[in-house]
Amino acid sequence: MFTSLVTAQLVGLALLRHVVAVEPLASLDFEELVERLAPSLEVHLDRLRRE
């Protein structure tokens, strides 16, 4: 279940950043994008690790 949440979040981000080009996602530096996204992904991955 948590892998589905991580996948959905990454696919949604890719669509918003590259297909729809929603600002500020489209022009955000990769490093800053990772800094902003990593904490929410870590929550799901930590839950997956505990299962």
pLDDT digits (tens, 9 = 90+) for 1-51: 778 888 999 999 999 999 999 999 999 999 999 999 999 889 888 888 887
For residues 19-36, one letter each, b for 16 or more C-beta atoms within 10 angstroms of the residue's C-beta and e for the rest, the string is: eeeeeebeeeeeeeeeee
Residue type, 49: R
Q: How far apart are CA 20 and CA 39, in angstroms?
A: 24
- The pair of structure tokens assigned to 41 is 């992904």
pLDDT of residue 29: 94
pLDDT at 48: 80
Handedness of CA 29, 10, 17, 37 (dihedral sign): negative
Token pair 């870590």 is found at: 42
pLDDT at position 38 is 93
Q: Supply the pLDDT for residue 51.
A: 77
For residue 1, the model assigns a pLDDT of: 75
